[in-house]
């Protein structure tokens, strides 16, 4: 009996062995979680205090229609051109409308619950109006980290400080 057990254990050990230079079909892609891979359309972004006006934090929401493409290599590109604006209401009731264009290119890795992005801060072409009148405004995006929930048709990313949540749909 003892030799049979030894043979079974050796066989199990060899089944998980990968030779140098060999590619294992069971290995995870560079992105980590295959669920992230695809082209996603933003349903809505909500941001509690990452935007400001006259040095006062301003809650905003919007950007519906921007697209996010994530490859199995972990390449992540978000395109804002053609998306809806971000809209916020100042404490005095005036409405700030922020239109963002351009795109960001980061690298993302997910583990099924947490994500981490790497890359360089990206300045984005931005225009804004305050109660319909042109206003000076600047936007930039930096890579971040946080948590996510992913299914075949939806992706929700929440930053680690829980300030921003992006809800995406696929297909």
What proportions of the chain, in percent to the nearest 5, are helix, strand and coil?
10, 50, 40
Specify the pTM: 0.82
Rounded to an integer, the average pLDDT of 32-59 is 96
Question: For the chain, what is the mean pLDDT?
Answer: 87
Q: Determine the 3-state secondary structure of 15 from DSSP.
A: helix
> Which residue, 125, 121, 157, 161, is CA-closest to 142?
121
> Rounded distance, CA 57 to CA 54, Å?
9
Q: Residue 42: is its pLDDT beyond 60? A: yes
Query: What pLDDT, in 10s, does the model give residues 108-162?
Result: 999 999 999 999 999 999 999 999 999 999 999 999 999 999 999 999 999 999 9
Classify residue 142 as exposed, middle or buried by CB count within 10 Å of its CB (0-12, 13-18, 19+): exposed
Terminal-residue alpha carbon distance, the chain: 56
pLDDT at 62 over 50: yes
Task: For 6-17, write each residue's pLDDT tens digit.
Answer: 322 222 333 333
Residue 27: pLDDT band by 50, 70, 90 thresholds? Answer: low
pLDDT in the model for residue 7: 27
User: When comparing pLDDT for 25 and 17, which is higher?
Assistant: 25
């Amino acid at each position: 009996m003892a030799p049979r057990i030894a043979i079974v254990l050796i066989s199990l050990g060899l089944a998980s062995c990968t030779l140098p230079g060999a590619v294992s079909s069971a290995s995870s892609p560079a992105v980590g979680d295959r669920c992230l891979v695809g082209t996603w359309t933003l349903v809505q972004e909500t941001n509690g205090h990452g935007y400001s006006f006259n040095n006062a934090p301003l809650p905003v929401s919007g950007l519906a229609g921007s697209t996010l493409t994530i490859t199995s290599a972990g390449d992540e590109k978000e395109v804002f051109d053609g998306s809806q604006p971000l809209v916020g209401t100042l404490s005095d009731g005036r409405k700030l409308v922020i239109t963002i264009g351009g795109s960001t290119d980061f690298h993302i890795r997910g583990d099924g619950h947490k994500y981490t992005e790497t890359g360089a801060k990206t300045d984005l072409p931005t225009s804004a109006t305050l109660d319909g009148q042109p206003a000076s405004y600047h936007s930039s995006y930096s890579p971040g980290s946080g948590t996510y929930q992913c299914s075949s048709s939806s992706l929700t990313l929440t930053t680690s400080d829980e300030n921003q949540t992006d809800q995406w749909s696929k297909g």
